[in-house]
Every structure is written in C-alpha cells, then in structure tokens.
Amino acid sequence: MSRLAAKFEALAKAGRKALIPFVTAGDPRPDFTVPLMHEMVKAGVDVIELGVPFSDPMADGPVIQRASERALAHKMSLRRTLETAIEFRKTDQDTPIVLMGYLNPIEAMGYADFANAAQRADIDGVLTVDLPPEEGLECSALLKARGIDPIFLLAPNSTDERVKKMDAAGSGYIYYVSLKGVTGAGHLNTADVEHKLQQIRANTNLPIAIGFGVKDAATAKTIANIGDGVVIGSALINKIEDNLDDLDLAKQEIITLLASIRQALDN
C-alpha cells in the first residue's frame, strides 16, 4: 500500500481529515523549503504538495505564478525539486510528498527518467495539472509501476463519465478543484461543493482532497468535512510574499495558520 493510501486509511479510521499544504519548491529561495516542510509536519499536516516551478502556470492565479517566478529566479527546476524531496526524506520517512506541476518539465526530462528519478526521491504521488488521463496513461503506468500514485483533478463541471475515468486512471486521492477558476480565487461556494461531492462519491471510492480558494480555518473546516482532506496553497504563499524581507516571520505565519487549521479540523 502506498504511503498516501495508508495515510488516508489511518485518517479515516481516526475520523480525521487530511490537512495538505501546497508550497512551491524553492520559493522564495531554495534553502527555505526543506526546513519549512519539517515545520509544517510538526504543525500537524498530513501530506505535502510540493509545487514544481514552471514558467507558464496556466491554471494558477497570480499568487502561485509569482511563487514560481521567485523560485525560477533562483534556477529552481524539476531536478532540484526532486533534490529538495530527497533532502526532506533524510529525516522524515513518513510524510507523503506529492509533486504538483505542469507537464513540460516532465516531457523535457523524459517520462521514464522522471519516473525513475521520482522513485529515487521517494515521491508518493504526482499531480500534473495539464495532463488529463486521455493523454496521460503512458506516464501514469510508469509511475504506478514504481509505486507512485498518479493523482488527477476533478472540477465542478466534470461529468459522471469523467469521474469514472479519474477513478480508473488515478490512485492515492482525487484532487477536487472546488471552483471554476484559478488557484487562490475568491468565489468558493460550499453548498456547491457539497452537492458535487455527492455525485463524485457515487462514482469513486478514492479519497477526495478539496482545494482552490481555501483561505482560512473556518472555510478549511467546512470544506474538509465535505471531503477527506483540504488543500491550502495561495493563502500560505501569501505569507511568504508579505514577508520577503523577514523569512523567519513568513515561516512563523505559515505555521500559525496551519496550526489553527489543524485545530479547527480536529475539533
């Protein structure tokens, strides 16, 4: 069983919800990420989504775009993101890591080389935003053969047919994009999410993590209770952006926010 499957199973047994932070590797500096990941684990996160910086992040809002730009300014790359994961694994063999990014860096590395490198880095899941299952079976098969979960997205306008497709193609969990829009958008409607989740649950038994537009502990709690976990990204990256001249403070604010969400989720 993969770390992700085991993690979600354990959480379900304990009646808890997964808290999944997203941070872009190397934002704002390469040496910031690994210590932050360890601190986040201490604050009670369950899975870490590690963003692979890309020059043209088409599905992301301005906050995560700028995170990519800051990381790329330090020559961050897919290769160095994998090195970041290796560094983290030296002292944490338990927390699942999911790489989240766009396809072109993987294309440039080559699917087989990427799958091997991800396995060496002990990566647990890979979510490629612009690789739907229609085009992604080759890459997914290589990942699955190495015990890595290919994670797919579902959206508010996804049909039953597509839910079934993701159920067949994906493993680990499904990432439900809670709104029509980009990451960090401000129009999340929890009633809509609740309604949609019923349709999704009818067609898959995979755990469902919900993200896009989650900004605070209260929303996180509501959303997490609808699904099996909540992803929070732009709200964390905002803390980095607001404190670029004091990164200790940035880290502290991220941890404080995550701790408050953890508390809200568990109460």
Active site residue ranges? 49, 60
**Residue 83 makes contact with other proteins by CB under 8 A:** no
**Residue 256 makes contact with other proteins by CB under 8 A:** no
**Residue 189 makes contact with other proteins by CB under 8 A:** no
**Stretch touching other proteins by CB under 8 A, among 32-40, 124-132, 250-258, 259-267:** 124-132
Residue 267 CA to residue 264 CA, distance in Å, equals 5
Residue 254 CA to residue 57 CA, distance in Å, equals 23
List b or e across 198-223, with b for residues whose CB sees 16 or more CB atoms inside 10 angstroms: eebeebbebbbbbbbbbeebebbbbb
**Residue 26 makes contact with other proteins by CB under 8 A:** no
Confirm if 71 and 27 have CB atoms less than 8 A apart: yes
**Residue 227 makes contact with other proteins by CB under 8 A:** no
**Length of the chain, please?**
267
Binding marks (x or -) toward other proteins, 148..177, rule CB under 8 A? ----xxxxxxxx--x--------------x
Residue-wise DSSP of 36-105: HHHHHHHTT-S-EEEEPP-S--TT--HHHHHHHHHHHHTT--HHHHHHHHHHHHTT-SSS-EEEEE-HHH
Residue 78 CA to residue 45 CA, distance in Å, equals 23
Q: How many CB atoms lie within 10 A of CB 159?
A: 11
CB nearer other proteins, residue 57 or residue 229: 57
Among 86, 122, 132, 192, binds other proteins (CB under 8 A): 132
Minimal distance in Å, beta carbon 21 to other proteins?
A: 20
CB nearer other proteins, residue 7 or residue 165: 165
Residue 164 CA to residue 16 CA, distance in Å, equals 26
**Stretch touching other proteins by CB under 8 A, among 90-98, 131-139, 219-227, 236-244:** 131-139
Question: What single-letter DSSP state applies at residue 127?
Answer: E
**Residue 62 makes contact with other proteins by CB under 8 A:** yes
CB nearer other proteins, residue 126 or residue 255: 126
Minimal distance in Å, beta carbon 204 to other proteins?
A: 14
Question: Which residues of this protein are in contact with other proteins, per CB under 8 A?
Answer: 53-59, 61-62, 65, 69, 72, 77-79, 102-109, 129-132, 134-135, 152-159, 162, 177, 180-182, 185
